A and B are shown apart, each in its own frame.
Chain A
Amino acid sequence: MKFRPAAAFVLMLLMLVFAVSFGAYQGWNREKAQLEEAEGAALNAMLRARAESAYNLMTVAKRHVPESDGDFQAVRECRQVLSDEKGAYTLAQKAAANESLTAAANALLTKLEGLDSVRQDSRDLMYVQSLLPQMLKESNRTAVGAAYNEAAAHFNQTMTGSLSGALARRLGVDVLPLFSAE
């Protein structure tokens, strides 16, 4: 077989391009997966806890107000977004629902506290005045969201600022979405 330097050079170049592209894709993809596993898991745990808190509030509220109540509906809508695990809602939508839940839950708690049926029920009054507000407050771990955002922003900045990152983006490794309502 006749040795052709030009063909060998092209072949070598192609192999080099493939190796660099494959390395960039693998490396950035792995780093993204690791970040999603570590910080994303904590964020998901927080969102799950928020959804559970909303459910608990709804459970108590159902005993005293009709489900058609406006404040009840607002809490239910927030819970629906927060409890999504199938990717039906974006992270921005979840962040917005997380913010809205605080106001909606406070409105419903205030309404419940003023009801005679709640005031006459020592157990539910304790839930409305003490346990549920504490639960909602504890579930809203702003530090977890901030830690995720910081890690995601650092990842995005590093990836977009490097040649291998740009290559990985062309090959389908996307930047991480931020946990922000905007």
Chain B
Amino acid sequence: MRRFLCVLAAAVLCLSLLPAAFAEEDAAPLLSGDVWDMAGVLGDTTAADLAALNDRMSGGRLMVVTRHFLGGKDAGAYARELLDSANPEGGAVLLMVIGEEDYALALGEQIAKALPAESQQSLLARNFRTPYLNRAYDEAVADFALAFAGQVSRARGESIDLDGLFGRISLSATPAPQQWSGKSDINAMWQDFFGEDSPENRTDRGREADWEGGLGTLIFWAFIIYFLFFRKRKRRRYDFGHGPRRRW
């Protein structure tokens, strides 16, 4: 009975650790969906048309991310991080850093084969740069997405139907929002501004890690105590018969 209780207690302790052990893996990916418009400069139709375009493309998705600033981070490296968090193989990320007037394109391995580096640069120069710098962000995304899909499909020897996509895009420049729409959740605001958790959340995570480490130690000592006090000792028989105890 005692042994059963010890095993049960150990099992409960191990089960209680499972959520903490898998908490990090359950975290949502940094980038999901086709548009992550953190700067709030794209229209709803652009997002819908981009999703429709991605559905028509075979073997790759173009994701568009907008940020106001990157705080000194390299746009290319940041776009690559986003791509790695979402679809490192067959995806592509177009990053637009509105406040820094910078942009970057990151391609997954499969698409990079169809679109080598020099083609990427000329594609951006011809179909993105001018409307982007003129702050016509919807138009810039539309031009680039259509040209990108056409070029990738051609390189793969496939055909793609682009009719009806981005047809309702207004060619006038999208005005920047007059006021930044504040967020009530401090962590969400930090995510918007700095692309990472707020310091308070960071401390909490550190404490969670300490707690997990503490539980590991607790289990270790629980097993030690179990082996020392609760484990049934094997009966060693040194004495045989009824004679005096042997001593060697």
**Category for how many chain A residues contact B:** 20 to 34
Residue-wise interface mask of B (6-41) relative to A, using a CB-CB cutoff of 8 A (1 in contact, 0 not): 000000000000000000000000000000000000
Q: Which of the 9-residue segments A16-24, A48-56, A92-100 touches chain B? A: A48-56
User: Is A163 an interface residue, CB under 8 A from the partner?
Assistant: no
B193→A39 contact, CB < 8 A: no
Instruction: State how many angstroms separate the Cβ of B5 from the closest Cβ of chain A.
Output: 34
Q: In A129-146, which residues have CB < 8 Å from any B CB?
A: 130-131, 134-135, 138-139, 141, 143-144
B203→A83 contact, CB < 8 A: no
Instruction: State how many angstroms separate the Cβ of A46 from the closest Cβ of chain B.
Output: 5
B72→A144 contact, CB < 8 A: no
Q: A138 to B187, alpha carbons, bound, how many Å?
A: 10
User: Is A68 an interface residue, CB under 8 A from the partner?
Assistant: no
Size of interface on B: residues with Cβ below 8 Å to A: 30
Q: A21 to B186, alpha carbons, bound, how many Å?
A: 45
Q: With contacts A51-B71, A60-B99 known, is A131 near B180, CB below 8 A?
A: yes
Q: In B169-209, which residues have CB < 8 Å from any A CB?
A: 175-180, 182, 186, 189-190, 193-194, 196-200, 202-203, 206-207
Q: With contacts A38-B206, A49-B190 known, is A130 near B200, CB below 8 A?
A: no
Q: With contacts A38-B203, A59-B100 known, is A130 near B69, CB below 8 A?
A: no
Q: Which of the 9-residue segments A105-113, A120-128, A167-175 touches chain B? A: A120-128
Q: With contacts A38-B210, A51-B71, A51-B72 known, is A126 near B176, CB below 8 A?
A: yes
User: Is B68 an interface residue, CB under 8 A from the partner?
Assistant: yes
Question: Mostly helix, strand, loop or mixed at chain B's interface?
Answer: loop
Residue of A nearest to B97 (CB): A59
User: Is B149 an interface residue, CB under 8 A from the partner?
Assistant: no
Instruction: State how many angstroms separate the Cβ of A124 from the closest Cβ of chain B.
Output: 8
Question: Mostly helix, strand, loop or mixed at chain A's interface?
Answer: helix
Residue-wise interface mask of B (71-91) relative to A, using a CB-CB cutoff of 8 A (1 in contact, 0 not): 110000000000000000000
B206→A138 contact, CB < 8 A: no
User: Is B129 an interface residue, CB under 8 A from the partner?
Assistant: no
User: Is A12 an interface residue, CB under 8 A from the partner?
Assistant: no
Give 7 pairs: A residue, B residue, CB < 8 Å, sorted on A: A39-B203, A42-B203, A43-B199, A45-B197, A59-B69, A122-B175, A138-B190
Instruction: Report A's interface with B, CB cutoff 8 A.
Output: 34, 37-39, 41-43, 45-46, 48-49, 51-53, 55-56, 59-60, 83, 122-123, 126-127, 130-131, 134-135, 138-139, 141, 143-144, 147
Instruction: Report B's interface with A, CB cutoff 8 A.
Output: 68-69, 71-72, 98-100, 135, 175-180, 182, 186, 189-190, 193-194, 196-200, 202-203, 206-207, 210
